[in-house]
A = this chain, B = another copy of it.
Amino acid sequence: MKIAVTRKEHFNAAHRLFNPDWTDEKNDAVFGKCNNPNFHGHNYDFFVTLIGEPDPDTGYVYDLKKLSDIIKEHVLDVFDHKNLNLDTPHFKNLNPTAENIALVIWRILRQQIDNQYELKIKLYETERNIVEYPAH
């Protein structure tokens, strides 16, 4: 009797999309205005989902207050009001696309959440651009 429980959180950050191995022309052609060398930014909304069995004593799959505290310590305190390219170790050599941000959040939280729970991340870079990992 698997149930999914989800917590919504958000952070605000600056980023720039580019590939340092490419010329400026190629970066402009591929990333367009997202390649602004002075950065731009977003309000990132994201949903963290854990899938597991409800505990018969509590009726909880997972205490969402505890999940929120874990997210705050390991994700929000690292990314909120930061420049993803300059201020975080995760994107020193990784392009901070929405796909990669979702993957990084998944890897960070996977180390904090017991493996009995399946873990999924859904991230809104804008209201209209959304990524999910894993995809199914």
Report which A residues bind B (CB closer than 8 A).
Answer: 1-10, 12-15, 17, 19, 21-22, 30-34, 36, 38-43, 47, 51, 54, 57-61, 63-65, 80-83, 86-87, 94-100, 102-103, 118, 126-136
Q: Which residue of B lies closest to A118 (CB)?
A: B135
- Residues in B whose Cβ lies below 8 Å from that of A99: 3, 5, 54, 59-61
- Residues in B whose Cβ lies below 8 Å from that of A32: 65
- Complex formed: what's the CA distance from A133 to B30 in Å? 30
- What is the oligomeric copy number? 6
Can you list 5 A-B pairs, Cβ within 8 angstroms, ordered by A?
Answer: A7-B128, A12-B41, A36-B81, A42-B42, A59-B95
Asked if A100 contacts B131 (CB within 8 A), the reply is no
Asked if A103 contacts B135 (CB within 8 A), the reply is no
Asked if B6 contacts A39 (CB within 8 A), the reply is no
- Complex formed: what's the CA distance from A99 to B64 in Å? 11
Q: Which residue of B lies closest to A51 (CB)?
A: B135
Asked if A4 contacts B47 (CB within 8 A), the reply is no
- Complex formed: what's the CA distance from A103 to B61 in Å? 12
Asked if B41 contacts A13 (CB within 8 A), the reply is yes
Q: A3-B134, A47-B130 given. 20 additional CB < 8 A pairs? A: A2-B134, A5-B129, A6-B130, A6-B131, A7-B130, A8-B128, A12-B42, A13-B41, A14-B14, A14-B39, A14-B41, A19-B57, A32-B65, A36-B81, A36-B87, A42-B42, A43-B43, A58-B95, A60-B99, A118-B135
